[in-house]
Amino acid sequence: MTSVAIEVFLQTLIAGLLLGGLYALIGLGMTLIMGVMKIINLAHGELMMVGMYIAYWMFVLFNIDPYLSVFIATPILFFLGIALQKFLINPVLKVEAILPENQVILTVGIGMVLANLATIFFTSDYRSTPVSYATNAFYLSDYWKASPIELSLSVPWSVSFILAVIITISLWFFLARTDTGKSIRATAQDTDAALLMGVNVKLMRVVTFGIGSGLVGAAGCLFLPIYYLFPSLGGQFTLIAFVITILGGLGSTIGAIIGGLILGVFESMTATYIGMGWAPVGRFVIFVVCLIFLPGGVASLLKRKKLGK
């Protein structure tokens, strides 16, 4: 390999890892909801879109930096998620219907409404957030003069990545150390057992949907400085979240993080070496290969010893 080829490869890898860190955050929200509620939330990307619009308007109207908006968008999305779960999804869990997929279809309906309302209120224009540091970058040659190759690291990408890592670690602490977190994990593992142990499963479902929504809202804020914003962007992120969830293994948090990183790198590689337009196809190739060859996702590799039924 020539030094240019190495440079391209490493640059692609870095871009992929940074993207993957953000993807992991999106996937985490989905995998939590799926683990606890056993339903797929197809409005996940649309919730992220809502988070992004909140951060966008905070920036445009009050000049609040998108990264600070994490503290605004996350709680709003948390309560939005709780409301959706309590007033729309919960009633459907009780309705007797031929197809159990009704809940999934319901979330499609929610997603449609959210995306369409955004179009009505904010038009379908593509928007970008002109933060002052948008094009800033670190260059390897600035730090290591004799470096044989040149690599760059975009400032907003790096900040978003680091914040995503911090949020992920906080979530981990929450799930591992707090009572609510433990109850959520118990509900995900075995609803009946959790009920017997006195866990308020109903409440945990509501809270989990809130947390999942809050997480993806935070992810939206982190994406804003580096991505275009338009009302229909939700669909592709729903799919990304889902691919990550499958790749990582249903309901597995570590799986979702690893899955996010793998997907980020893979997409970045596809974009560089095959073509920009094909990156989404790469996403599905991973998805299909995983479904066929690794149905339990990364999580099944991590706990091969776990007892199956």
Partner 1 sequence: MSLLQVKDVSMFFGGLAAISDVSFDIQKGDILGLIGPNGAGKTTMFNVVNGFYAPSKGEVFFKDRKISGLQPHQICKLGIARTFQVVKPLQRMSVLDNVIASAYLRVNNKGEAEDIAREKIKFTGLHDDIDVISKGLPLGKRKKLEIARALATQPEMILLDESFAGLNPAELDESIEIIRKIKANGITIMIIEHHMKVIMAISDRIVVLSYGQKLAEGTPNEIGSNPLVVEAYLGEAESA
Partner 2 sequence: MKKNIPLIILAILAVLPLTGTSTYMLHIVILVIMWSIIGMSWNLLGGYCGQVSFGHAAYFGVGAYTAGILYTKFDISTWWGIPLCIIVVALFSLVLGFIVLRLRGPFFALATLASGEVMRITAENWVDFTGGTMGILIQKRTWVDKTWYFYIILIIAAVTFILVKKLIHSKLGYYFVAIREDQDAAESLGINTTLYKTIALCISGVLTGIAGAFYTSYMGYIDPHVAFALHDISIITIMIVMVGGVATFWGPFVGALIMVLLAEFIRSMPGLGTAHQTFFGVLLIVIIIFLPNGVVGDFKKLKRLVGLGRASS
Point out which residues bind partner 1 (CB under 8 A).
Answer: 98, 304-309
Taking the complex as a whole, how short is the minimal distance between the CB of residue 278 and partner 2, in angstroms?
6
Nearer CB in complex with partner 1: 145/304? 304
- Cβ-in-10-Å burial (0-12, 13-18, 19+) of 50 comes to buried
Q: Which of 161, 166, 186 is nearest to 176 (CA)?
A: 186
Instruction: Mark out the alpha helices in the chain (DSSP H runs).
Output: 3-37, 44-62, 66-84, 90-94, 102-122, 140-143, 155-177, 179-189, 191-196, 201-223, 234-248, 253-273, 279-293, 297-302
CA 205 to chain centroid, in Å, comes to 19
162 binds, among partner 2, partner 1, none (CB under 5 to 8 A by kind): none
Report, in Å, the least distance between residue 305 CB and partner 1: 6
User: Which residues in this chain contact partner 2 in the complex, by CB under 8 A?
Assistant: 39-40, 42, 88, 91-92, 95-102, 104-106, 108-113, 115-117, 119-120, 235, 239, 242-243, 246, 275, 277-278, 280-281, 284, 287-288, 291-292
Indicate the burial class of 9 (C-beta count within 10 angstroms; 0-12, 13-18, 19 or more).
middle
- 156: exposed, middle or buried (C-beta count within 10 Å: 0-12, 13-18, 19+)? buried
Axis-axis angle for helices 3-37, 234-248 (nearest 10)? 90
The CB-of-233 to partner 2 minimum distance in angstroms stands at: 13
Report the C-alpha gap between 1 and 7 in whole angstroms: 10
What does 243 interact with, of partner 2, partner 1, none (CB < 5 to 8 A by kind)?
partner 2
Which CB atom, from 276 or from 307, has the smaller least distance to partner 1?
A: 307
By a kind-dependent CB cut-off of 5 to 8 A, residue 242 interacts, out of partner 1, partner 2, none, with: partner 2
Query: Shortest approach of partner 2 to residue 100 CB, angstroms?
Result: 7
- Of these partners, partner 1, partner 2, none, which one is at the site of residue 275 (CB under 5 to 8 Å by kind)? partner 2
Which partner in partner 2, partner 1, none is near 308 (CB below 5 to 8 A by kind)? partner 1
Nearer to partner 2 among residue 21 and residue 296 (C-beta): 296
The residue among 136 and 189 lying less far from partner 1, judged by its C-beta, is 189
Cβ neighbors of 138 (< 8 A, separation 6 or more) are: 152, 153, 155, 158
Q: Smaller CB distance to partner 1: residue 38 or 303? A: 303
Between 130 and 308, whose beta carbon lies closer to partner 1? 308
The rounded distance, in Å, linking the Cα atoms of 143 and 31 is: 39
**DSSP code string of 10-57:** HHHHHHHHHHHHHHHHHHHHHHHHHHHH----TTHHHHHHHHHHHHHH
Residue 291 interacts, among partner 1, partner 2, none and using kind-specific CB cut-offs from 5 to 8 Å, with partner 2
Give least dist CB 111 to partner 2, A. 8
Q: From the list partner 1, partner 2, none, which binds 146 (C-beta under 5 to 8 Å, kind-based)? A: none
Q: Cβ 106 to partner 2, closest distance in Å?
A: 5
Query: Which residue, 215 or 241, is less far from partner 2 as judged by CB?
Result: 241
CA dihedral 197→102→121→58, nearest 10 degrees, is 20
Cβ nearer to partner 1, comparing 96 with 179: 96
